[in-house]
Amino acid sequence: MRRFHLLVLLVVWLVPTALCGAEFKLTNGDIIEGEAATITADGLVIRKATGGFSESIGWGRLTQDTLKLLLDNPQAKKYVEPFIEVPIEVKSKEKAKKKEIVIKQPPRLERPIEKPKFFGSLMTPSGFMILGILYFANLYAALHVAKFRGRPIPLVVGLSVILPVIGPIIFLLTPDAEGMAPPPMEQPTASTEVVSAEAKVAGMQSGLGLAAHQKPEQKGASQGAETYKRSDTTFDRRFFETKFTGFFRVVPANPDMVLVVKTAKQEYVARRISRISGNEIHVQLLRGNTEAGIAFGEIAEVQVRHKDAKA
């Protein structure tokens, strides 16, 4: 406690000593020499060197140099600081320092780059769309392979549904259906069969001696005419090559006979067969001397008759 009192007496003695004989300049140009006697929030009272005390002088009446001098007084510092003017340059720098915000990004771990997998990419919406397109292209190819090879369309397409891509390739590599057909069975001699008048016409029967296959003349048909219907006959390449060999010649053996091919939409009267493939036949029409192509699947009836006979 004794030490505290000594410290207070020392401060009280040093402060007046430091300010003794100081010059207090006022903003109106007056100068007062002396020391600060009383310091309050409203101002200070100066003990003049010539004797006596000055009136209470507000802090705003002191010049900037005097205010800065009073900063050394711990008792007056807190009252003087608000009245000291700070240069504009210093203020702008302090504001810039306050506004400047530096954001530092925290360290981040790099994610490993995953390589896209083929089967994984197929399990996406775009992958399913590609698989669907390929699947329908497989069925479309199976349809044309069946027509090209003369195979039943349901068989080829059905196998392609179960075995995509592999099914069409299997049928594409196998021979045509006509090439795999068994050889024709030997027929009894013509003397034991009823042969129509058309079958006896030279050039109209097969060169393989299969004239006995020809059916007898049907009731209601013109004399010498033969009729083959889809319900009784399979219309394919082998059928036309064996039954109507004479019609494949450039000049038919019997020009008076014509080949009539009927479909659900039209009837074709032909003088000869110009060419034939695995799934259709091309005939040279009697009128106009033009060529027409007819698919085997569209043929409903085939008839051989005299060109002047009525259907």
pLDDT of 299: 92
Last residue of a domain, one of 57, 73, 88: 88
Average pLDDT of the chain?
A: 75
| pLDDT, average across residues 252-269 | 87
Residue 126 lies in a domain: no
Which residue type does 310 have? K
pLDDT of 221: 39
The whole domain housing 163 covers 147-180
Q: Same structural domain for residues 228 and 294?
A: yes
294 Ramachandran zone, left/alpha/beta (phi>0; psi -120 to 50): beta
pLDDT of 60: 81
Q: Which residue has the higher pLDDT, 247 or 122?
A: 247
CA distance 144 to 126: 28
Q: Same structural domain for residues 267 and 202?
A: yes
Q: Same structural domain for residues 82 and 152?
A: no
Q: Which residue has the higher pLDDT, 197 or 139?
A: 139
Buried b (16+ CB within 10 A) or exposed e, 118-150: eeeeeeeeeeeeeeeeeeeebbebbeebbbebb
Adjacent-strand bridge partners of 268: 261
pLDDT of 1: 55
Q: Same structural domain for residues 154 and 208?
A: no
Radius of gyration of the chain, Cα coordinates, nearest whole angstrom:
62
